[in-house]
Structure formats: structure tokens, C-alpha cells
């Protein structure tokens, strides 16, 4: 597992504070030590050159960070879109199962499907937060396939509905496969080398600016380091869409159990109404 993943195991507010404050304190401390122990006599013309150099370095580094943020943001959007498609297929399959005529095989299919959905919510997604795969979930998904194959549709409506079930189940399985395959997708370790080295170069470049007031120089570099820490936090959080506290959740699978609860309540209310009518007669 990567260092950035372990960092995300901290509370998100604490991680944000650590990165921002540590970046600012580090840059401010380096500036303080530089101004205290290294005496440079910088001419006005040299300061103009140094300022332009700092501007160029900062611009190129901003371009690098923009590219990295764009990559991880695009990756996050793709992951969210895939999870949404998987959730839509899951809900559609649940509705098809509920509309199928009430038989022993259809009840068994619903039981297996609810078991699969429960495993996705309570095992697979929690495991993905730890960058691990689930063992029960694929087994329960196979049970859904087996139960669906055992259905014996007789009417044209049942035959068409079973065909739709297979389509939704295959889509669900495909989107889930994409989700699990992309579990360990993150910024390669070698990419962090230019990111970190670039931050060091930017901070060092800021040391050579001729700012007469020492405290202002330290304060400006403190803000620069804090801003770099903020950018690092953004990259790390976006790079692990499942691991963060506010990571992607299986909302559609949870909605299945909400719909199932409503269906059971409606069925109980219907039975109670029938019983009351019968008693009144």
C-alpha cells in the first residue's frame, strides 16, 4: 500500500491541518534560518532577475500541479460515473425481480440478490476503503446468476422480463468488475519525485527574493508552503476515491433495502386492510 493511502487513514480534517501547517512551518523555518545565517548582498538589478526566475519556476510548477490535479480529478469522475452506472443496473435488476410473478424460484432469486447487495454494502466497500477485495461478494454474485438461470419463464411477459434481468445483471457485473479492477489505480510513486522536488525548488527560489523586512519574508514563504500543502492534500484525497472519509459510497445498493423495506411495509398494510375488511363482513 502507498504512503498516501496510509495518510488518508487519518481523519480528513486532521490530515488537512497537518499538511497545510507542516508545509507552512517548514517553509517559514527554512526562510528564518536562511535569513539568520546566510547574508546576501543583492543588488536591485539582481532582485529583478531573481523575481523573474521565481515567477518562471512557479509558473512551470503550477502547470505540473494542474496536470496532476486534472488527471486525478478525471480519474475520480470516471470512477463516480462507473459506480453510478453499476448502481442504476442494480436498482433496475431489483425492480425486475420484484415484478416477476411470485414463485419459489423468484423468492430464492430475491434472497440471493439481497444477500449480494448486503455484501457489497457491508463488506466490499469497507474493504475497498482499505484497498482490499471482498471474497463473499463475488460468491454471492455467482449465486444470483445461478438462481436467475433456474427461473422457468412460461408467458411472453416472463420470458421478456428474464431477458431484461440477464441484461441488467451482466451490466452490473461488468461495471463492478471495472470498479474492482481500478481499486489500486493511483499516481505512480515515480511521479511524486518531480512533485516534491518541484515544491522544494519553488521554496528555495523564494529564499533569494530581496525582501527587506525579515518577518514579511518569513510570512510570505509560510503562506507559500501552506498553499503547497493544500495542493498536496487535494491530490492525495482525489487519488484515493474510496479511502477518504467522504469517499464513494454504494448509495444505490442502500436504496435497494429502503425500497425493500417500503415494499414489506406496504404488503403488511395491505394484509391488515384485507383482514379488517374480512372481519367487518
**208-252 confidence digits (pLDDT tens):** 887 778 899 999 999 999 999 999 998 988 888 887 666 788 999
Residue 98 pLDDT > 70: yes
Instruction: Round the CA-based radius of gyration of the chain to a whole number and report it.
Output: 29
Instruction: State how far the Cα of 198 lies from the Cα of 57, in Å rounded to an integer.
Output: 9
Residue 106 pLDDT > 60: yes
C-beta of residue 21 within 8 angstroms of C-beta of residue 226: yes
Angle at the Cα of 13 from the Cα atoms of 8 and 14, rounded to 5 degrees: 70
Going from N- to C-terminal start, the domains of the chain cover 3-280
Q: Give the end-to-end CA distance of the chain in Å, rounded to a whole number.
A: 69
How many CB atoms sit inside 10 A of residue 230's CB?
14
Residue 45 pLDDT > 60: no
Query: For the whole model, what pTM was predicted?
Result: 0.80
Mean pLDDT for 266-275 is 70
Give the pLDDT band of residue 280 (cuts 50, 70, 90). low
109-145 pLDDT, tens per residue? 999 999 999 999 999 998 888 888 888 999 999 999 9
Instruction: State how far the Cα of 162 lies from the Cα of 154, in Å rounded to an integer.
Output: 10
Residue 157 pLDDT > 70: yes
For residue 78, how far is the Cα from the chain centroid? Answer: 10
Instruction: State how far the Cα of 31 lies from the Cα of 43, in Å rounded to an integer.
Output: 19
Q: Give the pLDDT confidence score for residue 71 in this predicted structure.
A: 87
* Residue 131 φ/ψ region, left for φ over 0, alpha for ψ in the -120 to 50 degree band, beta for the rest: left
Q: In this predicted model, which residue has the larger pLDDT, 37 or 118? A: 118
Q: Give the pLDDT confidence score for residue 209 in this predicted structure.
A: 80
Residue 41 pLDDT > 70: no
C-beta of residue 248 within 8 angstroms of C-beta of residue 85: no
Q: Give the pLDDT confidence score for residue 46 in this predicted structure.
A: 67
C-beta of residue 100 within 8 angstroms of C-beta of residue 88: no
Amino acid at each position: 500500500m502507498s504512503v498516501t493511502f496510509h495518510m488518508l487513514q487519518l481523519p480528513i480534517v486532521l490530515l488537512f491541518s497537518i499538511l497545510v501547517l507542516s508545509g507552512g512551518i517548514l517553509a517559514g523555518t527554512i526562510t528564518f534560518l536562511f535569513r539568520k545565517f546566510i547574508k546576501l548582498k543583492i543588488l536591485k538589478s539582481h532582485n529583478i532577475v531573481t523575481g523573474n526566475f521565481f515567477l518562471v519556476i512557479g509558473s512551470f510548477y503550477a502547470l505540473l500541479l494542474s496536470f496532476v490535479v486534472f488527471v486525478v480529478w478525471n480519474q475520480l469522475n470516471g470512477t463516480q460515473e462507473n459506480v453510478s452506472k453499476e448502481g442504476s443496473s442494480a436498482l433496475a435488476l431489483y425492480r425486475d425481480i420484484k415484478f416477476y410473478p411470485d414463485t419459489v424460484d423468484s423468492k430464492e432469486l430475491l434472497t440471493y440478490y439481497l444477500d449480494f447487495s448486503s455484501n457489497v454494502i457491508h463488506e466490499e466497500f469497507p474493504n475497498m476503503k482499505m484497498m482490499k477485495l471482498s471474497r463473499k461478494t463475488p460468491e454471492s454474485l455467482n449465486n444470483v446468476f445461478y438462481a436467475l438461470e433456474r427461473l422457468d419463464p412460461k408467458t411472453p411477459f416472463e420470458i421478456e422480463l428474464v431477458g431484461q434481468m440477464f441484461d441488467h445483471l451482466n451490466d452490473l457485473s461488468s461495471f463492478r468488475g471495472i470498479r474492482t479492477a481500478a481499486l489500486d489505480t493511483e499516481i505512480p510513486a515515480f511521479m511524486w519525485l518531480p512533485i516534491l522536488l518541484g515544491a522544494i525548488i519553488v521554496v528555495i527560489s523564494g529564499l533569494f527574493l530581496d525582501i527587506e523586512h525579515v518577518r514579511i519574508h518569513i510570512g510570505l514563504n509560510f503562506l507559500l508552503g501552506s498553499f503547497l500543502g493544500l495542493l498536496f492534500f487535494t491530490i492525495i484525497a482525489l487519488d484515493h476515491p474510496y479511502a477518504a472519509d467522504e469517499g464513494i459510497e454504494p448509495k444505490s445498493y442502500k436504496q435497494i433495502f429502503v425500497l425493500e423495506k417500503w415494499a414489506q411495509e406496504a404488503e403488511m398494510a395491505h394484509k391488515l386492510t384485507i383482514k379488517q375488511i374480512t372481519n367487518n363482513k
